[in-house]
Structure 1
Amino acid sequence: MSSMRRVWRPETFYHVTVRGNNRQNIFLNETDFALFFRGLLYTYEKYPFTVIAYCMMNNHYHLLIRSQEVPLSSVMVIINKRYSEYFKRKYNYFGQLYETHFFAKMVVDPISLLNVSSYIHQNPLRTSNTLVEKMEFYPHSSYQFYFNQSKTPPSFIDTQLLPSIIEQYSEIVAENYCSYCENFQPEEEKSSHMSIT
């Protein structure tokens, strides 16, 4: 398996997915979600990165992330280790919290950025028991910052890139990014994720 230090491209966004071991829940309540989010802020202060889409679900999370200063693995080690230590301490949990360190797949073109971000934002709608009726109602996703522009996103979130792609490509039939996201029809998830250690 290639190491992240070999395949890391600082100009490229990666779709990162982290799942609970045996698909167990890694976020049990609102405090857990908040602590994980604080971990993102903490990591950003050490190694700045850019996220254009995220979604935290009970047993996994997604990031569409670019790390331009250090290898992405360095960022993910801090994020995952910090949250794992918190979880184990709080719940007296022993064993492996995550299925693996993380999965990452390069997203190399603008249309793919739109599609992957839409897939991420649609996560709360595509569960066996739908969590919300509309994406904007889900509190643990970056979609809220695209839908409600009066909300100020955290410093590591860029909400300008995806809407600018809509404006640049005349062949895209969408009024704006939110419209694109709402009408996106995801293909079946492929098992071609690249496991990064």
Structure 2
Amino acid sequence: MGRKRREWIPHAYHHIYSRGNNRQNIFCDETDMQEAFRLLTMIHNETPISICAFCFMTNHYHLLLKTEEVSISKIMGIFNKRYTDYFNGRYRHVGHVFQQRFNSSPIPYPQDLLQVSKYIHRNPISTKKPMVVRMEHYPYSSYKFYKNANYYPYHF
């Protein structure tokens, strides 16, 4: 029996997340975080997607995005495959990088977007030992774009 098909609602944002296999780190340093962002940017340039929020943690990631033409499964299949190829090559790793397929939850109501965005952006300060004192100090999330509208080093 095949697996259950992912729910995809075109025109709705989806909270997408995935974790490293056995909770291992999938982003070991700044280079890995930059590669993940580069891949996300490349996919954005190739496919019409809208990215509302993102956060790359050491052993997982969160994205809040929508796509109207291509399914979330296709987008995330590309992202996870490309990142896995990068990770396996860089670290001479063999086997699964991600614990399982990505998880996703559609956000059908606009008023829920703020709550999900808040959850995503608070990840670095919500860990047992906070990674940073203030959310805007964490360089691998989109929070800084909301905090300071003039700060926009990346282009989506």
* Residue in structure 2 matched with residue 108 of structure 1 by the alignment: 108
* Residue in structure 2 matched with residue 86 of structure 1 by the alignment: 86
After TM superposition, the structure 1 = structure 2 runs for residues 35-50 of structure 1, keeping only pairs within 5 Å, are 35-50=35-50
CA contact (8 A) 1:11 1:68 kept: yes
Report how far residue 153 of structure 1 moved. Answer: 5.9
CA separation in 1, counterparts of 2:110 and 2:44? 24
CA separation in 1, counterparts of 2:154 and 2:139? 14
Instruction: Tell me whether 1:2 sits opposite 2:10 in the alignment.
Output: no
Report how far residue 110 of structure 1 moved. Answer: 2.1
Report how far residue 111 of structure 1 moved. Answer: 2.2
* Equivalent position SS for 1:62: strand
Report how far residue 89 of structure 1 moved. Answer: 0.4
CA contact (8 A) 2:51 2:64 kept: yes
For 2:5, give the aligned amino acid. Answer: S
* Residue in structure 2 matched with residue 121 of structure 1 by the alignment: 121
* Equivalent position SS for 2:84: helix
For 2:48, give the aligned amino acid. Answer: P
* Residue in structure 1 matched with residue 148 of structure 2 by the alignment: 148
Greater relative contact order (CA < 8 Å, ≥ 6 in sequence) = 2
* Residue in structure 1 matched with residue 28 of structure 2 by the alignment: 28
Give the TM-score, by structure 1 length. 0.75
CA separation in 1, counterparts of 2:104 and 2:153? 24
The 1:110/1:153 distance shift into structure 2, 3 A limit, reads farther
For 2:51, give the aligned amino acid. Answer: V
* Residue in structure 2 matched with residue 166 of structure 1 by the alignment: none
Report how far residue 154 of structure 1 moved. Answer: 3.9
User: What value does the CA root-mean-square deviation take over the aligned residues?
Assistant: 1.2
Deviations 1:42-66 (A, max 9, x none): 1112212111111110000000110
* Equivalent position SS for 1:105: strand
Unaligned runs of 5+ in 1: 157-197
* Equivalent position SS for 1:58: coil
CA contact (8 A) 1:145 1:153 kept: no
CA separation in 1, counterparts of 2:118 and 2:110? 12
Report how far residue 155 of structure 1 moved. Answer: 4.1
CA separation in 2, counterparts of 1:106 and 1:153? 28
* Equivalent position SS for 1:35: helix
CA contact (8 A) 1:54 1:62 kept: yes
* Equivalent position SS for 2:53: strand
CA contact (8 A) 1:14 1:64 kept: yes
* Residue in structure 1 matched with residue 130 of structure 2 by the alignment: 130
Aligned-pair identity in percent equals 43
CA separation in 1, counterparts of 2:4 and 2:153? 34
CA contact (8 A) 1:49 1:66 kept: yes
